[in-house]
Chains A and B, each alone.
Chain A
């Protein structure tokens, strides 16, 4: 085998998440009323556009999750058993091979052919001059960058854009034909329906987003082989490569931490609000105590302990990546344990309010068990808060990671993350002339990730709130239950609501 697969701890959890996600998808398909709600998500133009972007990020993150160790060339001894490299690579690393390996000496600006700092160069006739040295890879094919750089970039970008457009057009045609066959219409009327926004799912929004993504990817792809599109960092590593690698770290921190935090926040928060009395007192004491300890201290202590453990048990880890990964997992756990208090407090308040609602009183009157009341009545009615809070936390967590990296207790220095990038740019911004592209790259990627996550969760929340979805709710009632008068009644109740306010 030319490689040996490696499954790190976080990989395992990510796979688990994917499996759970797929299982949930099948579960939804089996339950019509859930399907109806999720179909409603598919009706939101902004939600679907956000989902398209989000899927791209997820795809990159997943590519970066498939780890393996490549086999080394066995020429020295000619022995049969293969030796695998100590370096753990991911599929993404392989795909981005040139980006990963084209390492310059130090900083270079985006799309530049020269280094960013002057250094002493020796010309061919032995004379020493101070000038911006040419890059080893960026623009190396140009003989005279001063005149050739701009046209070269322009033509490459154009051809990249053209390629992207071509791919998009191809996809569009293929999909259009499929869709037309499914709806049993001709190709062109189908296209017209899509672009006038008359389809049930806002395909025009999806295709527009996809077009933007494909054009960008095309242009970047065409440029990236000969330039550093987002420049290089202090040790000359490509910033675009770093940004793409950071996506997985961000996603892992965002999702795993949330997963660890949710059970605490949900169980304790709802239990405190619902049972009140001494249970409430106990839980309140726990979270006030926990939140009054500066969380950075707590995290620092925990991570340092972990670090000591890793260093004293070096034999447990066969690769650097395994060590870095365990540290990342531990960081997620400790972040999760310290960050549930805010959501817990919110949920406690909401549960306090909900437990007095008459439908819960009615459930008591039926002798419904506490667990059932919590899971059937309270939990669905606080889900909107959970959804909003977790998405808000997502960006907060990515930033928390940056802060912790600054203190020195964040992810392993060998692991690329938005946090380490932002941390590095702290010094770069103070430098004269300023190096802005690291921060810029981290900003753009985080912005796109968090914004699309926010928009998508908005769409989900709207679709699952029965009161908001009144208007679109019935047109797609797949069981065909809605009575003919339901539409009229809905408008009536909406009217009455409006009049009352």
Chain B
């Protein structure tokens, strides 16, 4: 069968710095009609550049120097720009990662879709309007007649991504390029969008080029997979083959780096080092420096394609005939992982942190005199406690108030009501100066390693700051005091796995993972007992995430740290946490030990959340529960149980009364009428 899209030996270079960067270096792939082809890889491997090369939308300084891209036999690279415009949005549609940034905020959704229609079809106004309604309905937007006259800010994130898909579909494309389409979305919304894409593909017999770093999404969506590393494809296979027998050491490492429960008591396998800079000239295998099975040949000869199975090819010397006999493919090498083992212990009697009925409300001001017109109840009666040296994971979708909880505990946001008790001392209501003395006991690590370090301060200054502010005895101006601070900084940097020389450099010289290490070192500088981790790994690649998780786990063992781990990533919870609490709209709806909650979720929301997580292992018996709709606004929460508008098991009483506590054993509890003893 003739492929729909055939890329042959594509080379794209970027002339940005002193040396040209070979962003895509000899990529060859074929996509069949009606197929989902996933391009998998870490950031900086050239995935997005491939997509932009296909669309010929390269940034300034970007050039396609070699190769051919054929869409249904038509060479795209030689097309004049005018003809190419008909291809973009017409024969090839594209969806971007950030739905918030890809829609024009001053045009209504209908106008933006109409723009595409007007460009690609000669169509009258009435017909265009009818087509817009059809498209919006097709992507599952309720009440399309009203919604098409609304502006993007009136749509939620998931709905915006649906609009983006509708725009991409407007040109009736043969190929849809989806560049990380669900990375910015929540799990339940991601499940909805992925479902939608699958349905549309089936209806329209469209090919999808899915670009992602998420193995879970690949496992759910893809028919065939290509793994990209440092600008070239290193393995292509069908999904089944790939997930059963990943052949390339890099692919195997990616799997090994994923946190899961059965790796709980051991360190995650990490890939040492970084993706090499694409400006260097490669001799031999690009992965050789990070591969623990590399031998001399890997560094001298670039490996050719080798077929390991029909339709499964890999670029690795391990599989070339006549080489060392094929090692066991699934034996994940673990030696680079620090062995961290920690048996579960029963919680101690007095918790380190005790939060009782915490409420954080933000007033909504309206009118000329800024009257308080309502309250955004970001956190509304939250109770939790964390034992010494334990990890509590706080799980929930974005907008449910988990970050606010973290900031309220840190006293960065004043709590409206409730008590926060750390190590027996009540924090809320403390004066700024009194609070200063307690600050050293609890610290925070933020999500975005790029905005959490001041770009104009050197690493030493960043780490020193907390020490100086909190330990006034260290503020000695004497040489001895300075020396001691300097030694402390060196020790900290070594502890988080950074070279000591790093302290004289500025944050921008470090990669995301290294920055996160610096942020951890900064928090550790004041010897805290509790570390609030606000999604510390969600901005990082899988292999880097593994490094950070290992570090957090080692630190917990060495220093007896307790973590409040705020996240939406269930597999991280499964790997790292002792207890977990699920949050929905400002309240905890279920909590217990990780094993209890994950194995036997009681609340319908927890069940749906867990089932929506894309699974890598072949589907188990658990049916996938698809949630309708999205998280309601915390400004006007639904009456009764907050979850009832989306709940599949809704009962009349749910609409009226907020459910009380239902206990399962001594540690597992939930708020749901289903388990109310009256029923």
A sample of 12 cross-chain residue pairs with beta-carbon separation below 8 angstroms, ordered by A number, consists of A361-B446, A362-B444, A362-B522, A368-B466, A368-B469, A377-B454, A381-B456, A471-B18, A479-B504, A481-B505, A493-B510, A498-B16
Interface check B436, CB cutoff 8 A: yes
- Point out the residues of chain A lying under 8 angstroms from B420, CB to CB: none
Which residues between 411 and 463 of chain B lie within 8 Å of chain A, taking CB atoms? 412, 432, 435-436, 439, 442-444, 446-448, 451-458, 462
Whole-angstrom distance between the Cβ of B17 and the nearest chain A Cβ? 6
Interface 1/0 per residue, A338-364 and B, CB below 8 Å? 000000000000000000011101111
Which residues between 462 and 501 of chain A lie within 8 Å of chain B, taking CB atoms? 466-467, 470-471, 473, 477, 479, 481-483, 486, 488-496, 498-501
Q: Which of A372, A380, A466, A500 counts the most B-chain CB atoms under 10 A from its CB?
A: A466
- Point out the residues of chain B lying under 8 angstroms from A361, CB to CB: 407, 412, 444, 446
> How many angstroms between the C-alpha atoms of A311 and B453 in the bound complex?
58
Interface check B66, CB cutoff 8 A: no
Interface 1/0 per residue, B268-289 and A, CB below 8 Å? 0000001111111000000000
Which residue on chain B has the smallest CB distance to residue A488? B277
> How many angstroms between the C-alpha atoms of A466 and B453 in the bound complex?
13
Interface check B499, CB cutoff 8 A: yes
- Point out the residues of chain A lying under 8 angstroms from B469, CB to CB: 363, 366-369, 372
Which residue on chain A has the smallest CB distance to residue B442? A365
> How many angstroms between the C-alpha atoms of A466 and B523 in the bound complex?
23
A489 touches B465 (CB 8 A): no
Q: Which of A381, A483, A492 counts the most B-chain CB atoms under 10 A from its CB?
A: A492
Which residue on chain B has the smallest CB distance to residue A360? B454
> How many angstroms between the C-alpha atoms of A482 and B500 in the bound complex?
10
B452 touches A358 (CB 8 A): yes
Residue among B21, B452, B507, B526 making CB contact with A498, cutoff 8 Å:
B21
Interface check B194, CB cutoff 8 A: no
> How many angstroms between the C-alpha atoms of A489 and B505 in the bound complex?
12
> How many angstroms between the C-alpha atoms of A96 and B475 in the bound complex?
57
Interface 1/0 per residue, B489-520 and A, CB below 8 Å? 00000000001011011111111000000010
Interface size on B, as a range, is: 35 or more
- Point out the residues of chain A lying under 8 angstroms from B19, CB to CB: 491
Interface check B611, CB cutoff 8 A: no
> How many angstroms between the C-alpha atoms of A366 and B508 in the bound complex?
22
Interface 1/0 per residue, A103-144 and B, CB below 8 Å? 000000000000000000000000000000000000000000
A489 touches B511 (CB 8 A): yes
Interface check B14, CB cutoff 8 A: yes
Which residue on chain A has the smallest CB distance to residue B449? A358
B501 touches A482 (CB 8 A): yes
A486 touches B446 (CB 8 A): no
> How many angstroms between the C-alpha atoms of A466 and B458 in the bound complex?
10
- Point out the residues of chain B lying under 8 angstroms from A491, CB to CB: 17, 19, 277, 279
- Point out the residues of chain A lying under 8 angstroms from B509, CB to CB: 470, 473, 486, 489-490, 493
Q: Which of A363, A366, A380 counts the most B-chain CB atoms under 10 A from its CB?
A: A366
Secondary structure of the A contact surface, majority rule: helix
B43 touches A496 (CB 8 A): yes
Residue among B21, B274, B443 making CB contact with A365, cutoff 8 Å:
B443
Interface check A431, CB cutoff 8 A: no
A489 touches B451 (CB 8 A): no
> How many angstroms between the C-alpha atoms of A496 and B519 in the bound complex?
21
Residue among A471, A473, A500 making CB contact with B17, cutoff 8 Å:
A471
Whole-angstrom distance between the Cβ of A364 and the nearest chain B Cβ? 5
- Given contact pairs A380-B457, A495-B23, enumerate 18 new A-B contacts (beta carbons under 8 Å): A358-B446, A361-B407, A362-B446, A366-B526, A377-B454, A381-B455, A466-B507, A467-B508, A470-B509, A473-B509, A477-B504, A483-B501, A486-B509, A491-B279, A492-B274, A495-B44, A496-B43, A496-B511
Interface check A376, CB cutoff 8 A: yes
> How many angstroms between the C-alpha atoms of A488 and B444 in the bound complex?
31
Interface check B48, CB cutoff 8 A: yes
Whole-angstrom distance between the Cβ of B622 and the nearest chain A Cβ? 36
Given A357-B451, A364-B412, A366-B469, A499-B508 contact (CB < 8 Å): no
> How many angstroms between the C-alpha atoms of A359 and B515 in the bound complex?
12
Which residue on chain B has the smallest CB distance to residue A379? B456
Which residue on chain B has the smallest CB distance to residue A492? B277
> How many angstroms between the C-alpha atoms of A490 and B19 in the bound complex?
13
Interface check A33, CB cutoff 8 A: yes
- Point out the residues of chain B lying under 8 angstroms from A489, CB to CB: 274, 509-511
- Point out the residues of chain A lying under 8 angstroms from B59, CB to CB: 498, 501
- Point out the residues of chain B lying under 8 angstroms from A501, CB to CB: 59
- Point out the residues of chain A lying under 8 angstroms from B446, CB to CB: 358, 361-362
- Point out the residues of chain A lying under 8 angstroms from B466, CB to CB: 366, 368
- Point out the residues of chain A lying under 8 angstroms from B412, CB to CB: 361, 364-365
- Point out the residues of chain A lying under 8 angstroms from B14, CB to CB: 495, 498-499
Given A358-B446, A467-B508, A366-B453 contact (CB < 8 Å): no
Which residues between 558 and 598 of chain B lie within 8 Å of chain A, taking CB atoms? none
Given A365-B444, A482-B505, A499-B44, A380-B277 contact (CB < 8 Å): no
- Point out the residues of chain B lying under 8 angstroms from A358, CB to CB: 446-448, 451-452
Which residues between 41 and 56 of chain B lie within 8 Å of chain A, taking CB atoms? 43-44, 46, 48-49
A492 touches B454 (CB 8 A): no
Whole-angstrom distance between the Cβ of B595 and the nearest chain A Cβ? 32
> How many angstroms between the C-alpha atoms of A369 and B472 in the bound complex?
13
B17 touches A367 (CB 8 A): no
Whole-angstrom distance between the Cβ of B517 and the nearest chain A Cβ? 14
Interface check B185, CB cutoff 8 A: no
Residue among A362, A381, A482, A495 making CB contact with B279, cutoff 8 Å:
A495
> How many angstroms between the C-alpha atoms of A355 and B293 in the bound complex?
48
- Point out the residues of chain A lying under 8 angstroms from B522, CB to CB: 362
> How many angstroms between the C-alpha atoms of A493 and B514 in the bound complex?
12
A380 touches B456 (CB 8 A): yes
Given A365-B410, A498-B21, A499-B23, A381-B439 contact (CB < 8 Å): no
> How many angstroms between the C-alpha atoms of A367 and B280 in the bound complex?
45
B455 touches A467 (CB 8 A): yes
Which residue on chain B has the smallest CB distance to residue A494? B17
> How many angstroms between the C-alpha atoms of A362 and B508 in the bound complex?
18
Which residues between 2 and 32 of chain B lie within 8 Å of chain A, taking CB atoms? 14, 16-19, 21, 23
B456 touches A492 (CB 8 A): no
Whole-angstrom distance between the Cβ of A184 and the nearest chain B Cβ? 28
> How many angstroms between the C-alpha atoms of A380 and B49 in the bound complex?
35
B511 touches A492 (CB 8 A): yes
Given A368-B469, A499-B46, A493-B508 contact (CB < 8 Å): yes
- 3 pairs of A and B residues whose beta carbons are closest in the complex: A358-B452, A366-B466, A496-B44
Residue among B452, B504, B505, B523 making CB contact with A359, cutoff 8 Å:
B452
> How many angstroms between the C-alpha atoms of A359 and B19 in the bound complex?
33
- Point out the residues of chain A lying under 8 angstroms from B447, CB to CB: 358
Given A357-B451, A367-B439, A491-B277, A483-B465 contact (CB < 8 Å): no
Interface check B382, CB cutoff 8 A: no
Whole-angstrom distance between the Cβ of A348 and the nearest chain B Cβ? 19
> How many angstroms between the C-alpha atoms of A481 and B505 in the bound complex?
8
A466 touches B456 (CB 8 A): yes
Interface check B128, CB cutoff 8 A: no
Interface check B470, CB cutoff 8 A: yes
Interface 1/0 per residue, B125-162 and A, CB below 8 Å? 00000000000000000000000000000000000000
> How many angstroms between the C-alpha atoms of A371 and B532 in the bound complex?
26
- Point out the residues of chain A lying under 8 angstroms from B278, CB to CB: 495
Whole-angstrom distance between the Cβ of A357 and the nearest chain B Cβ? 5
- Point out the residues of chain B lying under 8 angstroms from A492, CB to CB: 44, 274-277, 511
Which residue on chain A has the smallest CB distance to residue B446? A358
Whole-angstrom distance between the Cβ of A371 and the nearest chain B Cβ? 12
B465 touches A376 (CB 8 A): yes
Whole-angstrom distance between the Cβ of B31 and the nearest chain A Cβ? 22
A376 touches B457 (CB 8 A): yes
Whole-angstrom distance between the Cβ of A375 and the nearest chain B Cβ? 12
Whole-angstrom distance between the Cβ of B272 and the nearest chain A Cβ? 13
Q: Which of B23, B277, B458, B511 counts the most A-chain CB atoms under 10 A from its CB?
A: B277
B470 touches A366 (CB 8 A): yes
B455 touches A499 (CB 8 A): no
